[in-house]
Chains A and B, each alone.
Chain A
């Protein structure tokens, strides 16, 4: 910002907040049908005979599958939104799963993060051993060569990434950008496969952001991906695979 522009922002905003009204409390209106407090000494028996079930909002609903281990909650949440969950107990097994998916899609070339980026040493070699080739994600930044090169990458059926964290409550995988971490691998391709180490599961987006602020600063981009791309813009009717991947697979890797 130019110094003048920044000062202007300070002045305008600083002046405004001095006179504005910023209520933080709930205000005088009870919400969600909270009954008014009974008078002290009221006939408690009378109050208790009120059919509380008839008063909406007083029944509490626990989050689904609460109490189960994170990996099971993660699976339930992701499967509920048409994601696919696999389990692997070794990097080699993960490679098998990826190779199987690639074969189903009829491809040998895939986009992928590097081993280092995924913290999964030997994964690339294991994939190559199964006949897969990892395409170089390099794309010219500008010029006429850029769109066709992007189109080539977009034509690849499968993109493979690691995951820096997983969110059990929503079935999300969290990916930070960085060296060797092509965004295209989880964005341009129709099928996204993420390998998530089970020990990286946390409960929810709020626990993640409260405890792993470092992930926000780690790269220029942090994304929580929760299942396949979707829209309900037309008559609130669900449709998958709009711009992002239409298929999302997560391989839960036992550390």
Chain B
């Protein structure tokens, strides 16, 4: 997974200037949070079901080797083919070769974060295949040469005027075609239908694989997942290796929380469980059924203290909840996976050096952990990644120096107090009315938007010692 070349602070500066984008993100996040809050509250003892969902993820991953093995066996029993892709390139190669060998011309794609992670589309397009994203948001992203900014709502950052412009520029749509959201939706339906009807290969992501039945589950609202997996003669499911549950009953629990947490719906419109190619006597369905199980760094995460991030079911709730994401939007993170989950997953998959800023783009407020349907402790892992960053030498010099000083002074209370008195004296010179308007050097960021209080001349402990003598 490649990090964007522009440094994080510049992407953030850029994002903060995009007022319309920020308004769109704030507005939509607010509405999404409202609807998911109501939906989650409906679940009788929603805490218990989230605990259950977490337990399923925990025990599945703890024995993932066995469950993947069972899964592969059962997919093959159903007449499907499985390929374990250790790297993104392996997965891309497999699909390219398959498409070439089967004489594929048009590929329709349902939403797949994994396919974006491994950058599949550009390779297939260069090979000469027609590749059409069919999720409405992803379609608009594709038309505009843009990138998605939220894992569930890809065009969270675009207003409807932005979308109208894209349709007019790229499809030659008329003003009537883009008059409003219903019109734009119908335009997309008409245009994409042509692709669905002629496509010979369909590629989708997987919400959950089910080991006991050899199935893959796709949840969509639009129907593009169903169409992509029913009409073309070759179907490929791209599954992150961790996206598995052991049994159909486990799947039922996950489906109870996925829709509610992700989009505020009790269930997405289509919850589709696919178990292999069409069977004898079936009127439709793909002739070929391939599951590409993608590793691409996940096994490394699985082996580490950060394995908990792999519990993620990609509902997107943590993005909506995050007050930082709400300010800067998804693109600023410079990764396919943005927001709180992305701040852990991106450096976990690609290495801390590639994404060393992301774990610091957080106040550790814990809103993400609070909304997560599987209770992932994201703040714990952000802290772990910050520590890894320090070990890798990514801590800025002034911070490292400051921390060394703190560590040294912190066990020498008289020195600590003396340092405080010195700082108070210096600050007293710079302060007016007890407040400082401008801090120097690396601390100047504070005073860009707020005053800084001058330290007190006498500390609490100094006063206490005076009052109570030597005794405490």
Contacts and interface: CB of A to CB of B under 8 A. Distances in A.
Interface of A: 1, 5-6, 8-10, 12-24, 26-27, 29, 31-32, 60-64, 77, 137-139, 141-142, 146-147, 150-151, 154, 167, 169-170, 172, 177-184, 187-188, 204-210, 213, 216-217, 219-237, 239, 241-245
Interface in B275-328: 275-279, 281-285, 287, 289, 293, 295, 299-300, 302-308
A154 B197 contact: yes
A222 B270 contact: no
7 A-B pairs closest in CB distance: A244-B223, A209-B252, A179-B281, A206-B252, A24-B58, A233-B137, A243-B223
A210 B223 CA distance: 25
Contacts of A221: 229-230, 272-275, 285
B28 A236 contact: yes
B200 interface: yes
A233 B72 contact: no
A234 B155 CA distance: 7
Interface residues of B, number: 119
Given A6-B69, A17-B63, A209-B249, A61 B54 contact: no
Contacts of B302: 13, 16-17, 20
B193 interface: yes
Contacts of A236: 27-28, 31-32, 153
B357 interface: no
A46 B442 CA distance: 48
A151 B197 contact: yes
B335 interface: no
B119 to A, nearest CB: 22
Interface of B: 24, 27-28, 31-32, 41-45, 47, 51, 54-55, 58-59, 61-65, 68-69, 72, 76, 78, 81-84, 86, 134-137, 140, 153-155, 158-160, 163, 181-182, 184-186, 188-189, 192-193, 196-198, 200, 210, 212-213, 215, 221-224, 226-227, 229-231, 233, 241, 247-249, 251-253, 255-256, 263, 265-279, 281-285, 287, 289, 293, 295, 299-300, 302-308, 366, 369-370, 375, 377, 380
A27 B84 contact: no
Contact of B269 (A6, A206, A230): A230
B227 A15 contact: no
B282 A178 contact: yes
Contacts of B198: 146-147
Most buried by B among A172, A235, A239, A241: A235
Contact of A9 (B84, B212, B227, B380): B84
A226 B267 contact: yes
Nearest to A151: B197
A231 B185 contact: yes
Contacts of B197: 147, 150-151, 154
A205 B222 contact: no
B400 to A, nearest CB: 27
A13 B241 contact: yes
A229 B82 contact: no
Contacts of A170: 266-267
A154 B187 CA distance: 16
Given A24-B55, A220-B274, A231-B185, A183 B230 contact: yes
Given A20-B307, A234-B163, A242-B189, A229 B269 contact: yes
A230 B222 contact: yes
Nearest to B372: A31
B181 A235 contact: yes
Given A151-B197, A234-B163, A224 B271 contact: yes
Contacts of A147: 197-198
Contact of B307 (A22, A205, A234, A241): A22
22 contacts: A18-B303, A20-B304, A24-B54, A26-B54, A31-B47, A31-B369, A32-B47, A64-B42, A154-B193, A188-B227, A204-B256, A213-B249, A220-B274, A220-B277, A220-B282, A221-B275, A231-B221, A232-B153, A235-B159, A236-B153, A239-B185, A244-B223
B86 A8 contact: yes
A183 B285 contact: yes
A9 to B, nearest CB: 4
Contacts of B375: 26-27, 31
A187 B222 CA distance: 11
